[in-house]
Amino acid sequence: MAARRILITGIGSHTGTELAARLERDPRVEHVAGLDTRPPQAALERTEVIDADIRNPVIAKLIPQVRADTIVHNQIVRRPGAMSATAAHDINVIGTLQLLAAAEKSDSVKAIVIRGSAGIYGAEPNAPQFFEEEMARLFPMRTRFQRDVSEIENYFQTYSRRHPTVTCTMLRYQPAIGPGLKTQVTDYLSLPLAPTYLGFDPRIQLIDEDDALDALIAAIHKPVRGAVNVAAPGTVGLTRMVRMAGRITMPIPAPVFPTVTQAAKRGGVLDISPDFRRLLRFGRAVDIGRLVDDVGFTPKRTTAEAVAHYVRTTGGRRLTPSVRGRVAGAAS
């Protein structure tokens, strides 16, 4: 493809702004536009910012004017936080529907890349230890977010079938971690006592924030049809992750875990979504064969390295500072 014109939704998010900044510096990209009601988090040089709500049908008039060849859908709410669950659902599902309707109206679109979520697989005790792309609906949908993601994927698949000339890429992201991000994982790791399920130590798979962005850019330059898992290679046990961050685990018996975390949420201490709660109990890992082979992108940091990098950069305090050095020092 020659000079690219790219539209990014959710440009007011950290990832949206970072992505726009990276694409601005890319000589292969002619024009960058961003859609959001929030302003970008940093000053952008040549990005056209469209102040519109993705849920509003008016975007069907605004988007064709951008004459974008690629739409990057980045406005998916992973954690409602202060927002009500209904508002999050509206942005996720209705927003995607409106966006797809707008894309239908603009003839220039050649590819749509959605930054989706591996949350669609859920977290199950009897799950395959590495989900492949076609295993998306092996288990019943248990949480609201999971159902939302599933609906988004359904709409997207229908769109993809109806528009065979448009390459539709669904990127299924595992949770990201990094010093620049504020996500459920980083919030969790900054708690002095990290609540865990008593007797459970699931395998957690994440992706480093730089790799997450690079994967998105790789998919923009080489869109492939269908779903692609995006995650760092390897997994790390939850307990190990907490210890690497220099925190202490606080095991809570499973039957009272929701009650305790709800109370903590009311107290404003932490906000654990039902998805994340299931992740803390059963974990989840995905197979990234398609990302490596088809998109041609290999994440640079493994999950353990991503955690270590996060801890190092944010200056996470360790419980046992350089044990080896001290023993050697004391012994000599």
Contact residues toward another protein (CB under 8 A) are: 125-130, 132, 135, 197-201, 203, 233-237, 240-246, 254, 282, 285, 287, 318-321, 323-324, 326-327, 330-331
User: Closest distance between another protein and the C-beta of residue 153, in Å?
Assistant: 21
Sign of CA dihedral 66, 80, 117, 161: negative
Angstrom distance (rounded) from CA 180 to CA 221: 24
Nearer to another protein (CB atom), residue 53 or residue 287 = 287
User: Closest distance between another protein and the C-beta of residue 67, in Å?
Assistant: 44
User: Closest distance between another protein and the C-beta of residue 54, in Å?
Assistant: 36
User: Closest distance between another protein and the C-beta of residue 205, in Å?
Assistant: 8
Nearer to another protein (CB atom), residue 264 or residue 308 = 308
Nearer to another protein (CB atom), residue 46 or residue 326 = 326
Nearer to another protein (CB atom), residue 60 or residue 198 = 198
The answer to whether 305 touches 205, Cβ cutoff 8 Å, is: no
Q: Which of 295, 145, 294, 159 is nearest to 214 (CA)?
A: 295
Angstrom distance (rounded) from CA 332 to CA 330: 6
User: Closest distance between another protein and the C-beta of residue 238, in Å?
Assistant: 10
Nearer to another protein (CB atom), residue 47 or residue 205 = 205
User: Closest distance between another protein and the C-beta of residue 189, in Å?
Assistant: 11
Nearer to another protein (CB atom), residue 61 or residue 326 = 326
